[in-house]
A and B are shown apart, each in its own frame.
Chain A
Amino acid sequence: MSQPPSFTLLVSEDTGSDGEEPSPNNEGALHTSFHQLIQEQSSLMEAGLELEMQDRGRGKAPWPQSGWDRDSVCAWTLPGPGEQHPGYSSASLRILASMPSRTIGRSRGAIISQYYNRTARLRRRSSRPPLQQLCRTARPSLRLYDLETDPPLVPPDKRSLLVNELLSLSPSHRSHMLLTVPLCLAEKRALRYVQSHRPHSAPRAVLGRTPPLTPLSAGQAGAERAEGLLSLLPAVQPWHYALKQIGGRFGSSVLSYFLFLKMLLMFNIISFLILLVFVVALQAAYPPASANPQPFTGLELLTGAGYFTHSLLYYGYYSNTTLKSPCTSSRSTCPLAAPPLPYNMSLAYICSVGVSFLITCVLLVYSMYRSFGESYRVGSSSRDLPAKVFCAWDFKVVQRRSVKLQCENICTQLKELLAEQRCSSRSRSLCQRLGRTVVLLLAWLLSLSTVLGCTVAVHRFSQHMHTVSAQEALLLALPLVVSVLNAVMPHLYNLLAAWERQDYPGAQVYVAICRNLILKMILLGLLCYQWLSRRVVCSMEECWETCVGQDLYRFVVMDFVFTLLDTLLGELVWRLILEKRLKRNQKPQFDIARNTLELIYGQTLTWLGVLFAPLLPAVQVLKLLLLFYIKKTSLVHNCQSPSKPWQASHMSTVFITLLCFPSFLGAAVFLFYTIWAVQPSETCGPFQGLETIYKSWQTWGQVLEKSNPNITWFTWAHQHLVKNPFLPFFVSGVLLAGIYFNIQVLRGRRRIIHLLKEQIANEGEDKVFLIQKLHSTYERRGRRT
């Protein structure tokens, strides 16, 4: 461990009394550049300090005068020197004002010096000292290590020092450092200018370019525009103004719903494009010889049957052979020749579906990772009062009425937090706890039994519908029933959660989401089982995949219809009732959780149906586009922002996780099961006559191997990686090891945080002690003179 260096304090002293006393040694770790700073700043401080002391001399009391008693406060605050030091001499005040921690933020020179240190540290990558060497009894300061490794400064120009350090960093580090340094634009521009005029550096585009509309040369303008376009890529946002309007009126919480909708739209567009290019467009160009299509009646848009049965929409339309020319012998001229390369439709079908799922998976996991990175914090909770005070104000909200509402919300939340903190100190009696447990159990029993009841009802109903003769319109009955249940039960669960009166306000939302999710997933599970087993639904069809595809199409359409109805009744009609009948000046609140879960449900249906109806993502895209505009209009006219606290980033993470885990994972499991284990129908679709869909992939592998014996690596990879049962075990073992490692790292970091906090507290005590010593020294000196 190093010796604590001794420092002499340079103070431009007015009193010529050097005195017999040596200057007090300050462990305040003055960096050499701060010596000059203090000299510079001390002249400025004089003027400021005189004013401060005059204010204090006028007898302003540091504590507010109210009827409130100081003794009722628990005495945890030390009387800090910054608050009550009316008697300090001007010399000690001058020293205090030029402490390094005080000058950061006020003086540009201090910022530059601080960032010089940081950059130097980054460059040399001097790591933290190992913790075992830190002896806590001697209370070393971590700043000591800076001083040892910093070279003595030769030129006094701080800016050129910083530029030198920046140039030695890699370009990405440099631009990141420039982006984060809290200097004003003019300083950053000057730094960039000095940087770019060094011989071995290239000018980079960072924050703070020359202002626009200066007469640029053509080449420079072109380069700037290209850079501008590239950097615009994250900023090219459709619906930018609409989102700004929503954020301005309702805040980040409601905005998160629309951002989630935008994300789902992007996923669906990507899936649709992949399927369009590789499957749909080609099949449309080379249509198979098929039976005469039925005439178009309007009902097809709802039921998906009839005219749409033998169309591109469904699985049954796609051929299982390599594509041929559509010309028959009766035509003399053929506008379309056969495709130049043989195009294996079945392989293309399975590959496109697989690739679109893979890309969706990667994008989902990436968004989850980014969302977790932003929102998950060790040891944070919604009951964190400082975060409430400093982070609750949403700067996006700009409308006057919404601002007023936000003020009221924050006021309510602060009052609730204070009440809660008072409450939690009181312990509950046994009777109350028993009562609460009974209420909780009852509520959960009720919700689970309703879920069971709904499942049984849907099962019985589908069996009944199966026995009834199938008219086209009656096909809509089952989707109707399921959508009714999905629309009505969440309202019941909300009421149930409100009746339960949870301890923590956030828990109410979580519990309602949980129950809603359980209902939706169990219903979907039942439907998947019915579709795959085909004992009840589509049992008599030859082309069962088209039948299942049609069923899924009906579910998607019915879900859309019921969302519209729910918006109409739940928002418009409810607002009219509230205003006209009940004469309350309150609008209905936008239920973010319920609406987001409905989006997740619709997306799960789409993912389930991609294999059976390749154009279903296109239907979902249309549906989401319409939904955006309808929801936005209804929101703006009928709703008000929610008054309960809603942590937008945290809840976004929760919803993305829900999208990934029950929803996408379930759809992927369904897809894999269908590909691996279910026999496709004999007479239609791209996998006619095969044992399973997966066999087409295997057959292709064998054909490839036979045609070119050099590609044995492919079959080897397939044999040993895909078919090997040990691979999943190995992968899960690696994952578990990684998780354990991360947990240990986290534990170590928590311990370090704890130690560092102790150290900071100790440093604070040291500082107070030294300041009091300083004050007493100067007082004694003052008394002597």
Chain B
Amino acid sequence: MHFQTAESSSTWGYYYLPAAVRRSTVMSMEDPTEKVGRLAAESAVVIFSVSSCCMCHAVKRLFCGMGVNPTVHELDQDPRGPELERALMRLVGNYSSAAVPVVFIGGKLIGSMDRVMASHINGTLVPLLKEAGALWL
């Protein structure tokens, strides 16, 4: 893996670095896309948002209104925010407007606000939520 080769190639330098830097080096080795995937799989409903974005607020209200409790990752409070945003943009395929909000249900990508609403109107969102265990009624 990417992480491992880096470690083996710079073994000397690695051991001489102070602990904090070592930790951050380890963390920054992770590919942003992978990090997104990892975060998305951690909960039933995951929303990537920005605290100041109003559309993200709308998505959060939508889920809360349905009785779902989503896990929200605020990218502007994450030191790796910009990278994650770019990764999200690539995932969603949306380069022209904002990267957020992006919703994952049960680890699967649903998409941006328009896709979420479309699936809600379609009637496919609620079954997905029930399947992921976010909704019981």
Our verdict on whether A and B bind, yes or no, reads: no
